[in-house]
A = this chain, B = another copy of it.
Amino acid sequence: MAAARHSTLDFMLGATADCNAVLKALQPVFQEQGMTETVHNWEDHGYLATYIKKNGSFANLRIHPHGLVLVDLQSYSDHTKGREETDQLLNKVEERMKEFFHGNLKRVKRLPTILRGGVIDRYWPTADGRLVEYDIDEVVYDEDSPFQNIKILHSKQFGNILILSGDVNLAESDLAYTRAIMGSGKEDYTGKEVLILGGGDGGILYEIVKLKPKMVTMVEIDQMVIDGCKKYMRKTCGDVLDNLKGECYQVLIEDCIPVLKRYAKEGRMFDYVINDLTAVPISTSPEEDSTWEFLRLILDLSMKVLKQDGKYFTQGNCINLTDALTLYEEQLSRLYCPVEFSKEIVCVPSYMELYPLRLRKRRECV
């Protein structure tokens, strides 16, 4: 794949560094490559040496006086030769540093090379902002709908992955998510009335329809998510999205808020409401309060269309977002009627984190 290859190599020394000595030790390694040197000396803050090669590659050597030496190498190539050259140069730098410092290197760290600006973007951070490289090898679908950017990318281990506006939503490997949000196999959906909010990937709908419910109504705002998923997420949705209507289900392409309001007004009631809309708002700053308002509105409206013995299932969020999860639970105490809930932690393959802290809530009032 043609992309800029960014490689790093870091050394933590056992003591403060003689910056000039480190520079002198490494200079020949870069100069042997025919690279031209420019050095900046901060005095108090050490050195930055930049090495430039005729073919467009360059390296940075940053020497911090407290004993940290950082090497960066950037080159643009679409062939393995460039890759080998980079590796060889970094190997030489590492050898030279080991010769020079003998046992006095506390740590040597080389990260996997980062590919920048290639056609395929492999880096999709977790909900708590950590860097994760996926094994993406193909862009299957990439479109902007009126609501969001919709990507479906192929991963060798997870199958196709649905990414909405940069957030990993669901992969074909993630039946564990669908099972969890449906109640981990402990619910009997036979003959039941079910309402799914969101769920455009079709996973929940597909799994519930197998269980002979009376009627499942799914309300998804974005037709294009359905269009993409029915074509490229078939391990998740099977054939259930091929028609918006089946024997025991219907899909409404609508904003769920007016639908919920209409149902509440009409007295239309469900045994299960499954909220698969979005993750918990991550920000806990006051200006985001409207997002929590939105969440509470959905919850309140859902309670209104839930039968006396009905259940409401949703996902929480990455368990590291403890503040967001606490706030979520606080919202539950602020509903118009008191509710009980339970939660479960599930490992979802493609999320690479223990993600859907599932909240299960029993209705206690009308």
| Segment from A220-228, A237-245, A346-354 that makes contact with B | A346-354
Contact B320 A354 (CB under 8 A): no
The answer to whether A320 touches B156, judged by C-beta atoms less than 8 angstroms apart, is yes
Report Cα–Cα, A55/B56, bound state, in Å. Answer: 28
A12 at the interface (CB under 8 A from B): yes
A52 to B39, CA, bound (A): 11
B40 touches A52 (CB 8 A): yes
Closest to A52 in B: B40
Q: Are A45 and B56 in contact (CB under 8 A)?
A: yes
On chain B, the residues within 8 Å of A68 by CB distance are 4, 76, 116-117
A52–B156 alpha-carbon span in the complex (Å): 42
Interface status of A203 (Cβ within 8 A of chain B)? no
Type the 1/0 row for A170-181, where 1 means its CB is closer than 8 Å to any CB of B.
000100100000
User: Nearest residue in B to A44 (C-beta to C-beta)?
Assistant: B56
B55 touches A76 (CB 8 A): no
Alpha-carbon distance A226/B134, docked complex (angstroms) = 33
Known contacts A48-B52, A319-B157, A347-B349: A8-B130 contact under CB 8 Å:
no
Known: A48-B52, A132-B132. A123 touches B107 (CB 8 A): no
Within the assembled complex, what's the spacing in Å between the Cα atoms of A193 and B319? Answer: 40
Q: This chain: how many copies in the complex?
A: 2
Interface residues on A, range: 35 or more
Q: Nearest chain-B residue to A109 (Cβ)?
A: B121
Query: Which residues, 94 to 134 on A, are CB-close (under 8 Å) to B?
Result: 107, 109, 111-112, 114, 116-117, 121-123, 125, 128-134
Q: Is the CB of B76 within 8 A of A64?
A: yes
Question: Of residues 268 to 308 in A, which have CB atoms within 8 Å of B's CB atoms?
Answer: none
In the complex, how many angstroms separate the beta carbon of A160 from the nearest chain B beta carbon?
15
Distance in angstroms between the alpha carbons of A320 and B133 in the assembled complex: 14
Q: Please tell me if the beta carbons of B131 and A111 are within 8 angstroms of each other in the complex.
A: yes
A308-366 interface (Cβ within 8 A of B):
318-320, 347, 349, 352-354
List 9 other contacts, CB 8 Å, given A4-B64, A58-B60, A176-B347.
Answer: A10-B117, A44-B56, A64-B117, A70-B74, A107-B121, A111-B123, A130-B135, A131-B133, A157-B354
14 residue pairs A–B, Cβ–Cβ below 8 Å: A4-B62, A6-B8, A8-B114, A42-B56, A45-B76, A70-B74, A111-B123, A111-B125, A112-B130, A123-B131, A130-B135, A132-B133, A173-B354, A347-B349
